[in-house]
Amino acid sequence: RETEEELRLRDTTSRELGFAEVADGFDAPATIALVAARRETALAWKHDLIPHLQDRLLVLGREDVLAETQPGAGQPSPDLFLLAADLAQPGEGLRLMSELRSRSATRHAAICIALPPLAPETAAMALDLGASDVIAATACPAEIALRLRSQIRRKRQADRLRAQVADGLRMAVIDPLTSLYNRRYALPHLARIAERARQTGRHFALMLLDLDRFKLVNDGWGHAAGDAVLVEVAERLRGNLRPVDLVARLGGEEFLVALPDTRLEDAREAAERLRRVIEERPITLPFGQGAVPVTVSIGLAIGGGPRSAPAPVDELMCRADHALLGSKAEGRNLVTI
Ligand code: GH3
Ligand code: MG
Ligand code: MG
Ligand code: MG
């Protein structure tokens, strides 16, 4: 049995656990938005209830949340929204919550609703509409603090998981050496460019590029030098094209470039430009190995255009590949159509 003294101690401990710790102990301190029907109410609440958290709190009125640009816009979005009990009637808090859930910036935030006592249907409805938790407005500060803390912890875990998934998806389509898109990304993306061209009746260009005598770089200076050349070539290609253009490393020393909305003459010019920027400046090798001149052979094919049945992507790839072989056969460092 607990003694008076023990009970008193436990009470103090849970009270002291209050709001000071709600936002701490995470990899980055959490931010909380307090939302009441009017901003003044939220401000008063902030002073009464949550004195320790002042600098981590964003205080909002209902109007602020519904406004297109919210106070604190540009700062990281709050981890948690705490909707005050004065929003409970008539269902105002629920409307705010739906609004927060529908916006990309706040979609993944934890949302807790404080409800006045005797609002059981509202609590059920709030949970059904996506509230992370409902909290009785009469709950003691320690309970509120612990509930908020547990929601922030869950939200942070979900953030981490989402970031890992996004990272995994990125890794699956990026070539780790050059940071260009890889074949897995490039071919479906090329098909999308072709489909878009079919819909608009515009042309697009496809280039296949292959470094000339690249084996000599590897054989003469080593594999690390070869890698450095591939990285520099990738940068020059990317740096001399538009953001909408696709640049990918298909494998080895072979690259693919696709130019949406581009006609033959402009494509030929772009291909010549790429050929020139590789040729014009020898590529510096690592470990003080000096610089090596590099050239590239390019095969160009034009797809799309106002025809009833544009050539399928496979056939276009064949044409570009054939043109590339032509560049090699004619002596390399050439663009062939
Ligand atoms: P060609 O002008 O006919 O294209 O001659 P080439 O020497 O470039 O042609 P080949 O296809 O015979 O050689 C390509 C070389 O690319 C072979 C391989 O060692 C090298 N290679 C492929 N992938 C990599 C890579 O990731 N890093 C390095 N350093 N070399 C690579
Ligand atoms: Mg090759
Ligand atoms: Mg080859
Ligand atoms: Mg080659």
Give residue 125's pLDDT: 86
Q: Which tokens go with 295? A: 């050239």
Told to judge if 279 belongs to the known catalytic residues of this protein, a careful annotator would answer no
Residue 20 has pLDDT above 60, yes or no: no
Show the ligand 1 pocket: residues with CB < 6 angstroms: 210-215, 218, 223, 226-227, 230, 252-253, 328, 332
Q: Of all atoms in ligand 1, which is nearest to the CA of residue 297?
A: 2
Highest mean pLDDT among 116-120, 135-139, 142-146, 233-237: 233-237
* Dist CA 258 CA 238 (whole Å): 12
Question: Which entry of 2, 253, 265, 272 is annotated as an active-site residue?
Answer: 253
Residue 299 φ/ψ region, left for φ over 0, alpha for ψ in the -120 to 50 degree band, beta for the rest: beta
Give residue 61's pLDDT: 80
Cα(323) to centroid(ligand 2), Å: 14
Looking at the chain, the whole-number percentage of residues with pLDDT higher than 90 is 57
Cβ-based neighbours of 65, under 8 Å, separated by 6 or more: 35, 96, 99, 100
Return contacts of 188-192, CB within 8 angstroms, 24+ apart: 189/246, 189/248, 189/258, 190/246, 190/256, 190/258, 190/313, 191/313
Name the DSSP class of 291.
Answer: E
From 211, 253, 289, 336, give the residue whose CB has the most ligand 1 atoms within 8 Å, as the site to mutate: 253
Give residue 145's pLDDT: 80
Q: Which residues surround ligand 2, an ion (CB under 5 A)?
A: 210, 254
pLDDT digits (tens, 9 = 90+) for 266-290: 999 999 999 999 999 999 999 999 9
Asked if the peptide bond before residue 260 counts as cis, ω within 30 degrees of 0, the response is: no
* Residue 17's pLDDT band (cuts 50, 70, 90): very low
* Dist CA 226 CA 217 (whole Å): 6
Give 310 or 276, the one with higher predicted confidence: 276
Ligand having the closest approach to the CA of 252: 1
Highest mean pLDDT among 93-102, 126-135, 157-166: 157-166
Assign 130 to helix, strand or coil. Answer: coil
The protein residue whose alpha carbon is closest to atom 5 in ligand 1 is: 213
What secondary structure, in 3-state letters, does 48-66 show?
A: HHCHHHHHHEEEEEHHHHH
CA dihedral 147, 149, 150, 152 (to 10 degrees): 120
The protein residue whose alpha carbon is closest to atom 2 in ligand 1 is: 212
Task: Write out the E strands in the chain.
Answer: 32-36, 57-61, 80-83, 110-115, 133-136, 203-211, 246-251, 254-259, 283-284, 291-292, 296-304, 335-336
**122 and 72 in contact (C-beta within 8 Å)?**
no
Give 84 or 200, the one with higher predicted confidence: 200
How high is the ipTM of this complex? 0.95
Ligand having the closest approach to the CA of 327: 1
Of the CA atoms within 13 Å of residue 277, those in its CB half-sphere come to 15
pLDDT digits (tens, 9 = 90+) for 247-268: 999 999 999 999 999 999 999 9
* Residue 18's pLDDT band (cuts 50, 70, 90): very low
228 φ/ψ angles, rounded to the nearest 5 degrees: -60, -40
Return contacts of 168-177, CB within 8 angstroms, 24+ apart: 175/248, 175/249, 177/227, 177/230, 177/231, 177/249
